[in-house]
Chain A
């Protein structure tokens, strides 16, 4: 079979796979609902716990333990801190994705949607995911600088506040948006990433 014909068959199979993926039933109702609940409570986000995380990751403790010569304890602490950092980064990503999703819901309700803006947001979401994965790998291998993690938290926090204000301004429209999104899982909608 020549390459062009193989390509055609591959394309058709890819479309079939995408079709199955697009039309599959939403599975995790509870998870999505809790996601949306937390999306509605924009004030209660993981970014708010940054001071506690910062304290947990403070360098002074490590220096102190190193000076006391307890290398086993230092190693254990470093391991646990890495786990905390990874968990925190994952929660930040969750915040980002929920906000990103809310932005899409707002767009879906709009009478006119700008292709350029939507494409830009889609690209930003992809870029964020790529960067997130790269940084996560870095975290797995070693610690990322804490101040930068802090500014990342601040950015998510600012985005939360801005969206919260915007959604409040939209009033009942925002409630309807959340309701619309939550209807995804009642068997009448498509699952979302």
Chain B
């Protein structure tokens, strides 16, 4: 712990305080009932901070042990982060069963592709940074999957309460900042690990605090009750309409294309 500069320690303290504030808001406004996984995620982050305090202040026989323990705890919080995000997406898309199903398929394809790319890209030679690469790979997959889902939500004009938008935006912002920070530091500080570690802590903590502030703003009021129940046309209605509309749109496109070709011939 003493190895970190004072600025990092201050930021760490500020981060814990902000997390406590967010957790307090979750309980005071009764939002913990609507977002149990998100509450668990924030709580786990606070527990992780206490755990890291113990890890970094304790003397270990092997110098690599604190790092390994710290990154292992990070894995748990990252899993909790994914669960919290899925929870918010599920609340948002619950009334839209069809889109939720489509979203899952889109998520599987997007995440699968990104994981493959990450694995291919991580065949690097920077052994020191394997944890950072794994962390970056996770955040890349997470951010890509989340933005794919948000694009789908926008494409289908699905209304999303602003508070949920802010929560999802905070997650996506934090993951993107992690990707950028990890990559920049890998590129510029690979030879000085101690500078790297301090800079990494400073930058990622700052971004995490920014995300926490956004979440605090989102949670300052009780979250809206999700009682949207859009009437759903039957599956047969959708199939029939979908095919008919697509056929018409296709015909319209052909007309446009013919107009284009005719003009080309005339010229």
Contacts and interface: CB of A to CB of B under 8 A. Distances in A.
* Mutual binders A and B: yes
Interface of A: 1-2, 4-5, 8-9, 11-13, 15-16, 18-19, 22-23, 96, 99-101, 103-115, 117-118, 120-122, 124-125, 127-128, 131-132, 134-135, 138, 144-145, 148-149, 151-152, 155-156, 158-159, 162-163, 166, 169-170, 172-173, 176-177, 180-181, 183-184, 187-192
A149 B234 CA distance: 36
A154 to B, nearest CB: 8
Q: 7 shortest A-B CB distances, which residue pairs?
A: A189-B159, A113-B98, A110-B238, A131-B256, A12-B179, A108-B156, A148-B259
24 contacts: A2-B187, A5-B187, A8-B121, A12-B143, A12-B176, A15-B144, A19-B147, A19-B169, A23-B150, A101-B157, A109-B232, A124-B249, A124-B250, A127-B253, A131-B260, A135-B260, A149-B259, A155-B255, A158-B248, A159-B252, A162-B248, A177-B230, A188-B159, A192-B154
A104 B157 contact: yes
A56 to B, nearest CB: 19
Interface stretch (B35-43, B60-68, B99-107): B99-107
Contacts of B173: 16, 19
B75 to A, nearest CB: 21
A11 B141 CA distance: 11
A60 B257 CA distance: 27
A106 B238 contact: yes
B233 to A, nearest CB: 6
A177 B187 CA distance: 50
A159 B235 contact: no
A183 B140 CA distance: 32
B197 interface: no
Given A16-B176, A152-B259, A173-B233, A111 B98 contact: yes
Contacts of A131: 253, 256-257, 259-260
A193 to B, nearest CB: 8
Contact of A148 (B157, B187, B251, B262): B262
Interface residues of B, number: 68
Nearest to B237: A170
B59 interface: no
B165 A19 contact: no
Interface stretch (B22-30, B44-52, B239-247): B239-247
A166 B241 CA distance: 7
Contact of A191 (B154, B248, B259, B260): B154
A107 B151 contact: no
B205 interface: no
A188 B162 contact: yes
A153 B151 CA distance: 31
Contact of B255 (A99, A148, A170): A148
A176 B159 CA distance: 13
A159 B244 CA distance: 9
B231 interface: yes
Contact of A170 (B151, B160, B233, B256): B233
B57 interface: no
Given A16-B173, A124-B249, A189 B157 contact: yes
B251 to A, nearest CB: 6
B176 A108 contact: no
Contact of A163 (B162, B179, B243, B245): B245
Contacts of A149: 259
A95 to B, nearest CB: 10
A4 B136 CA distance: 13
